[in-house]
A = this chain, B = another copy of it.
Amino acid sequence: MTSPVLPSHGQARPLALAQITLTGGFWGDRQAVNATATLAHCEAWMERLGWLANFDRVADGTTGPDRPGWSFSDSEVYKLLEALAWESARTGDPEPEAAIKRLTARVARAQDPDGYLNTCFGHGDQPPRYSDLEMGHELYNTGHLLQAAVARLRTHGEDDLVRIARRAADHVCRAFGPGGIDGICGHPEIEVGLAEFGRALGDERYVEQARLFLDRRGHGRLRDIPLGRAYFQDDLPIRQADVWRGHAVRALYLAAAAVDVAVERGDDELLRAVERQWERSVARRTYLTGGMGSRHQDEGFGEDWELPPDRAYCETCAGVASIMVSWRLHLATGDVRYTDLIERTLYNVIATSPSADGRAFFYANPLHQRVAGRPADPDEVSPRAEGGARAAWFDVSCCPTNVARTLASLHGYLATSDDDGLRIHQYAPCEIRAELPDGRPASVDVETAYPESGTVRVRIAADADAPWTLTLRVPAWAEGATLTEGGRTRPAEPGLVSVRRAFRAGDEIVLDLPMEPRFTWPDPRIDAVRGCVAVERGPEVLCLESRDLPDPGALDSLVVDPRAVPRAVPGGAVVRGRVPDLAGSAWPYRADPAGAATGEWFDVRLAPYHGWARRGPSSMRLFLPVSADPPPTHVNAEGISAP
């Protein structure tokens, strides 16, 4: 069976990729752009920069001191291969298949006889193998090779890429197994690669090696660095940690692997540890967008409540990795809090990164851009990961291929099945053609303009002789949703809503989600956005771009009226705001609070955050300061929403 993640058991089963087809809409369009533009774009850049030629040079014995790319550039080739594998299976088009063959052939030539495969270490004058476990990324690269091979195995079966990966994995098990090097890689990834590779091949050895790497970590095997060992999660064993810390992508890839190993081994202690880390990290270290990573310095999580909007890093790759973790936790537990967070992250991190043409990307996704970015030259590599302008390629270019592999397999994250039916988690126009274990057909067509509209129409596509259960996720934000079926409309509380029936083709179940724009208030402990409010509409977080203000410079001082509820307008919402006259002063600290009760009220237009900077450079903010005069009503009720 084909699916991006395939545990041997769990509370929810992924659908096979072949059982679900996106038919346009928000995500179908993006998947198409990924297929027609992004994949070739990535390959072209890696050719141009010599990251592909690095493999040829190893094969030809011509490595030299001028090797282009960072030590992890091989992984970009593997992530592209993974994306191509999903894409080839999705459409059956010849081009992705041809690309897989031509890339695989070049990779194959660079593999050493003992299975070692790396273009930065171990050949010619290069540093010896495994001489820099902290920053050398050798096992990290191999982990991505294994994930690519998993995609290929699940969509195509054994081929050269799989054989390369098997030799590489065997080499890793020999080199780092019991009695081998007692080490770990500074960037987790080999663990999730090994665990999934073991599942895909039914080979327990690989899962065991993943477990070994997991349990070796957290004891200070890596040398200390100025950022501290928390940077690579070597500060604390994963079973003991309560929260994610350090480099966000590292922390999340590791957590994904831990869920895989926990599920395969029935290791509830380990599963519970990751759930606990997810809980506190989501409650205290996650942005409203679902973005993770509060610091530029180490691309890392901050402390609890440290969530600056302007210096938010929210790396696109951390969004991908967060979805990897949440999806695995959902499959293990069936808990909707995980699919809730996936929706949030998809619409507000993943969708934000690529340009409309699929040829430029955000690396960091801040929630507040103080100074408009400069448009990036589409013909140049951006040396920087700052937000503000999507760039064609980066010096450290992990995000484009990560977006590519996620979009190419995105239909795999929309729905799951269980013994009695189908659960739909993400709403997009699609066709689902599934069959339950006992042969009952569970096939539906979903029609929706979500998230522009909140109406999701699920039409049964095949008669069933026996009843089965159709379950729909009602997002945590969707208070007031209704479900209509058989002419009856009933409230649908956030969580899951089910209909069980011997469905007939043509039956329609309609979920109506409330799409009025709404104010969302941060916890008072998030110091950086105290006195601010955000506006959300459905799964989308909205933002204000300076170009939508009469005076773009007013973005720094604008306040909104918290008493005036946001109004929906096409493509976004309108709130009431004004721009107090904040006179310049020589020193920005005063004996009295500054006056705020000036300025004429006017309508301020907000639009989805994922669309920001698409009309050109702009400054932007997502959390809007509220006018303090007259004061907002402060409510004691909890009014808690969930991710």
1/0 per position for A136-165, CB-CB distance to B under 8 A?
Answer: 000000000000000000000000000000
Tell me if B226 and A639 are in contact (CB < 8 A): no
Copies of this chain, how many? Answer: 2
Is A225 in contact with chain B by the CB < 8 A criterion? Answer: yes
Verify if A642 is at the interface (C-beta below 8 Å from B).
yes
Say whether A592 contacts B303, CB under 8 Å: no
Decide if A638 is an interface residue (CB 8 Å cutoff): yes
| Residues in chain B near residue A1, CB distance under 8 A | none
Q: How far apart are the CA atoms of A522 and B589 in the complex, in Å?
A: 4
CB neighbours (8 Å) of A583 from chain B are: 638
A527 with B593: CB separation less than 8 A: no
Of residues 532 through 547 on chain A, the ones whose CB sits less than 8 Å from some CB of chain B are 532-534
- Which residues of B sit under 8 angstroms from A384, Cβ to Cβ? 226-228
Residues of B within 8 A of A479 (CB): 591
Give, as a whole number of angstroms, the nearest-CB distance from A230 to chain B: 11
In residues 104-125 of chain A, which contact B (Cβ within 8 Å)?
none
Asked if A524 and B594 make an inter-chain contact with CB atoms under 8 angstroms apart, the answer reads yes
A533 to B631, CA, bound (A): 17
Chain B residues whose C-beta falls within 8 Å of the C-beta of A284 in the assembled complex = 588
Pairwise interchain contact A596-B634, C-beta atoms closer than 8 A = yes
Interface-located stretch among A75-83, A307-315, A320-328: A307-315
Contact of A585 among B523, B589, B595 (CB under 8 A): B523
Q: A593-B632, A595-B635, A628-B634 are in contact. Are A587 and B370 (CB under 8 A)?
A: no
A233 to B2 Cα, complex, angstroms:
54
User: Which residues on the B side are within 8 Å of A595 (C-beta)?
Assistant: 634-637
Are B228 and A527 in contact, with the CB atoms below 8 A? no
In the assembly, what is the distance between CA of A643 and CA of B628, in Å?
26
Stretch at the interface among A35-43, A177-185, A203-211, A513-521: A513-521
Known: A311-B311, A527-B528. A586 touches B638 (CB 8 A): no
A69 to chain B, nearest CB (A): 15
Chain A residues touching B, majority SS: loop
In the complex with contacts A521-B590, A587-B282, A594-B524, A629-B640 CB distance below 8 A: no
Of all chain B residues, which has the CB nearest A369? B303
> CB within 8 Å of B: which of A579-637?
580, 582-598, 625, 628-629, 631-637
Closest B residue to A541 by beta carbon equals B589
Question: Using a CB–CB distance below 8 Å, which chain A residues touch chain B?
Answer: 224-228, 279, 282-284, 286, 288, 295-297, 302-306, 308-311, 337, 368, 370-371, 383-385, 395, 476, 479, 518-534, 556-557, 559, 562, 580, 582-598, 625, 628-629, 631-643
Q: Can you list 26 A-B pairs with a CB-CB distance of less than 8 A?
A: A226-B383, A226-B395, A282-B587, A283-B587, A296-B296, A303-B371, A304-B556, A309-B527, A310-B527, A311-B311, A518-B591, A519-B591, A521-B594, A524-B582, A524-B594, A525-B556, A525-B588, A526-B588, A587-B642, A589-B641, A590-B640, A592-B639, A595-B636, A595-B637, A628-B634, A631-B631
